[in-house]
Structure 1
Amino acid sequence: MSPLDLDEDVLSSLLPMLVLGPVALAALAAVVPPRLRPALGVGSAAVVAATTAVVVGGLVRAEGGELELALAGWEAPLGIVLRADGASGALLALTATVGVAVTAYALGGDEVTGGPAFWPLWLALWAALNGVYLAGDLFNTYVALELLTVAAVALVALGGRRAAAPALRYLFVAVVGSLLFLLAVALVYGQTGVLDYALAADRLQDGPLLGTVLALTLVGMAAKMALLPLHSWLPVAHPAAPAAVSALLSALVVKAALFVLWRVWFDLGAAAEGNPVREGLALASAIAGTVAVFWGGLMALRKQRLKQIVAYSTVAQIGYLALVLRLADPLAPDAVAAAGWSGGFVLVLAHGLAKAAMFLAVGTLAHAYGTDHLSGLRGAVTHMPMTVAAVGIAGVSLAGLPPTFGFVAKWQLLTAALGRDEWWVVAVLLLGGLVTFGYTAAMVRATFDPPGNPDVEAPAVRVPAVLAVVPFLLALASVVFGVFTADVVTLVASSAPGGDLP
């Protein structure tokens, strides 16, 4: 029998391993000698990724597209319930894919990780990410978010003395976001007496309290996901953090906050469908996202350092995801709502792959040349073609050009925008893609050989092959999933608001 054909009860029993397993491995990594941590990290990544593959593969075949487990047999509201659906399954798969890649990349040395402390912190981060995606109640979502914050801030601080101030800024913003979300959780419990998502959704009633819950969650998660104007921590944290950490922050950490926002908005906020407050918040999110797309993109065009360019690119790309609150409205026709939801979620996955590839490639260039300034990268396309190709391919996916994964996502979002007659959103998607292509072209152009001087010097440091191969493979995955994307769209559409939409 194939591991993917396991009984649903057996598959459900694996859900705790995706959270508790990395926690135990992180604790082990913290106490073993530093020289053993890379080997332990590789083994841990292999185990967690294999378990994720079995769960996600079984999830696709599960009746109703969902797995659920009540820990120790205690059902909600008394017990802790873990749930996995199409959306959480897709993010578990993204986390495992990027996680394996970053783990392999981290074997390149302390220069790209910040030191041996990277390994236990990274495994703790992985546990927190899986905890966010699998938590069946609001309180454990909050707990997982706090573990995620602590691990992410500590990882940023591995950048050394220059990373201390950015890490503290990130900590302050993230804690404020958590407190706002905790207040929203308290309001839900005060009205319903439960914290389980499904039970709370049945008991919540439309009114000022629900509007307040949505507003608090929107602002709190916007701070954690760096949605403009609450983005100030991200452009300083990325350049200060080691390359492997920057990839984790952009590809995975901000996605956890986005997942929580969407879950509260579409599950708990279902009772407020058509409410003017909910509609106003969705419009405000879309406006903030629009400004972020262009402001972040223009800032990326102005910067002269690779990591700053890619950091502001993340600010811009988060803007697209803020549009989903409006485009995936279940009150819209089914096909339109499905396109908005699946487009937004596929964009999350496409952004995760492309941004991980881009940050890792940029880190490789900076390590090899001793700088990430554009003026110091002449000749890199000759001496490090695979790394430069990773930057270019990832940028093409972020711009939404065919045949990449990003193109599939933006096509879905365009379909939703046209179905809702939101022509201004169409303009944002198209013009934002041009800006993305512009700063990607600027980064690639900086690596060309100087005119009339083909014998440009090689980089100062000869980097291990893994530092070039890993980002290139991630970038290549952005193309592969763009071609073979039907199963991914089907998986995420199964968890769309209102049920399995066409």
Structure 2
Amino acid sequence: MTPGGPLLILAIVLPVAAILLLMLLGGRWLPRLVPVFLAAGLAVAVAIFVLVWESGAPIVYVVGGWQPPLGIVLRADGISAVMMAVTAIIICAAGAFAWADFGQSPAAPEARQPIVFWCLLLAIWLALNALFLSGDLFNLYVALELLTFAAVPLVCIKGSAATLQAALRYLLYAVLGSMLYLLGAALIYGAYGTLDITSLSGLVKPEPVAFIAAALMTVGLLAKTALFPLHLWLPPAHAGAPAAGSAVLSALVVKGSFFLIVRLWFDAMPQLREPAAMQMLAALGAAAVLFGSILALRQKRLKLLVAYSTVAQIGYLFFLFPLVSLAAPEAMWNGFAWTGGWLQLISHAFAKAAMFMAAGLIAEALGHDRIDDLGGAAKAVPLAVLTFAISGLSLMGVPPSGGFSAKWLLLVASVGEGQWLWAVVILAGGLIAAAYVFRVLGRMVAPSGGGVEISPVAQGRQVIALGLALVTLALAFVPLAPSPLLQIGRMVTPS
């Protein structure tokens, strides 16, 4: 165990304790328990982040003192620490935003929906922390399943027929993806006798059983990530969930399976990184950028537009695979691509969480989210419209925004490595994103058609959404160079 190891256990135990106490004590304890556990979870995540940053080394905790392959090892490297901090901030913001919809007054009759929502939100936090810290393919499977079975009910928590249908479709894709992943993990265990990622990195060879296992696991994870063309479940699921739920689903949940894809190809099975396979992943990402952006441009409802833009923005993440070459880890462009890919994930998480919250507030104020009838939104909820505009800058990749920094780093790496196709897609995706963002903003700043009844929206909820959007502006000041933090603990370090 390294210094700070118990913090890793605490990051997993805190959400479990919160869920058990809520189920035991009931919904009337929500106002007392939820703020305490949200604040404690945020503090633990920040402490892990600071410790990894200052020490320059990963935090390791061997559970029960049992070493792999029999025991479980929790490990927080640079990207784990960053992802845990991002998750904690967005979960806490979503919790504060959701209190107006899912709060429980101690004096009011106890309702079932609030306690279900908070248990699901805490379970998502638990699953993501376990996913970021686990170093075993089976433990990662368990965390992934917990994430799925906490996210699916969040889609249909309101109970309408449309959201139930969307949740069932989501569940179908997720279960199919889990089956493929588990089958691949079984093949790996049968061939190499271990599922520990550190051990597998030196055992896996370029042989048929390894390629079949990697293909099965990757396809299963792509279904959970909603990469084109396995994206059909995402738009109705994310658009149908409550605003706080949509923010968490789009900002965090789909990133969990992407994180595992990276672990699989860069840490567990780096010997299998054939150029053709990496180019294929990037090609699917390019298709997602273009088709997702075009479909977003054609939507008539605001939340569906935001959901389809998630399909598009996920595609940029997959340019990381061909641009980070393990064959030449000393190449200058590797560090640019590695940093750009993770910065894209982080900036998209904050921008999309803010955008879904803003869309929810606009729909709450106007009573609908029809894009053609959004006139008067800027007057009714100005901070929500400002939030949408700032988040849109990041999606477009326009400075100053984290999205610009991320896309610039990916663009530089693409040109530097001579992979011009991805550079063209990055530019085209930004232009189409500008088209759908400005289309919506143009409607929002137009005067209302008259006779529209505006519902009051709490100013504090607008401030929460705006705060997340402002983080995307702060990310613009990240140096346009390889980040040492994101390289801490890497088995093969991009230069």
TM superposition score category, shorter chain reference: over 0.9
Counterpart AA for 2:433: T
> Which residue matches 1:413?
410
Indicate whether 1:221 and 2:218 are aligned.
no
Distance across 2 between alignment mates of 1:331 and 1:354 = 34
Distance across 2 between alignment mates of 1:484 and 1:423 = 25
Q: Measured at CA, do residues 66 and 343 of structure 1 come closer, stay the same or move farther in structure 2, by a change above 3 Å?
A: same
> Which residue matches 1:139?
138
- Which residue of the other structure, out of 18, 29, 32, is the alignment partner of 2:25? 32
| Misfit runs of 4+, over 6 Å | none
CA contact (8 A) 1:104 1:466 kept: no
Residue deviations 1:163-222, cap 9 Å, x none? 111111111101111111111111111121111110111111121122122211221111
Listed as ranges, the matches of 1:483-502 within 5 Å are: 483-485=477-479, 489-495=483-489, 498-499=492-493, 501-502=494-495
> Which residue matches 1:309?
305
Residue deviations 1:222-255, cap 9 Å, x none? 1001001101100110121111111111000000
> Which residue matches 2:289?
293
Distance across 1 between alignment mates of 2:331 and 2:491 = 10
Segments of structure 2 that go 5 or more residues without pairing to the other structure are: 104-111
SS at match of 2:100: coil
CA contact (8 A) 2:338 2:482 kept: no
Distance across 2 between alignment mates of 1:361 and 1:489 = 31
Listed as ranges, the matches of 1:28-177 within 5 Å are: 28-63=21-56, 65-110=57-102, 115-161=114-160, 162-177=162-177
CA contact (8 A) 1:102 1:244 kept: yes
TM-score (norm 1): 0.93
Distance across 2 between alignment mates of 1:321 and 1:260 = 13
> Which residue matches 2:179?
179
CA contact (8 A) 1:115 1:158 kept: no
Q: Measured at CA, do residues 124 and 269 of structure 1 come closer, stay the same or move farther in structure 2, by a change above 3 Å?
A: same
CA contact (8 A) 2:336 2:482 kept: no
Q: How well do the aligned residues superpose, as a CA RMSD in angstroms?
A: 1.9
Indicate whether 1:365 and 2:357 are aligned.
no
SS at match of 1:446: helix
Distance across 2 between alignment mates of 1:490 and 1:427 = 28
Distance across 2 between alignment mates of 1:485 and 1:238 = 33
Listed as ranges, the matches of 1:341-352 within 5 Å are: 341-352=338-349
Cα deviation for residue 496 of structure 1 reads 5.1
CA contact (8 A) 2:411 2:426 kept: yes
Distance across 2 between alignment mates of 1:496 and 1:293 = 28
SS at match of 2:228: coil
CA contact (8 A) 1:382 1:449 kept: no
SS at match of 1:107: helix
Distance across 2 between alignment mates of 1:60 and 1:168 = 41
- Which residue of the other structure, out of 14, 18, 32, is the alignment partner of 2:11? 18
Counterpart AA for 1:104: A
Size of the alignment, in residue pairs? Answer: 485
Q: Measured at CA, do residues 30 and 487 of structure 1 come closer, stay the same or move farther in structure 2, by a change above 3 Å?
A: farther
Counterpart AA for 2:469: A
CA contact (8 A) 1:330 1:497 kept: no
Indicate whether 1:282 and 2:278 are aligned.
yes
Segments of structure 1 that go 5 or more residues without pairing to the other structure are: 1-7
Counterpart AA for 2:297: L
CA contact (8 A) 1:414 1:426 kept: yes
CA contact (8 A) 1:137 1:195 kept: yes
CA contact (8 A) 2:87 2:125 kept: yes
Cα deviation for residue 101 of structure 1 reads 0.8
TM-score (norm 2): 0.94
Distance across 2 between alignment mates of 1:430 and 1:45 = 39
Listed as ranges, the matches of 1:419-430 within 5 Å are: 419-430=416-427
Distance across 1 between alignment mates of 2:31 and 2:187 = 44
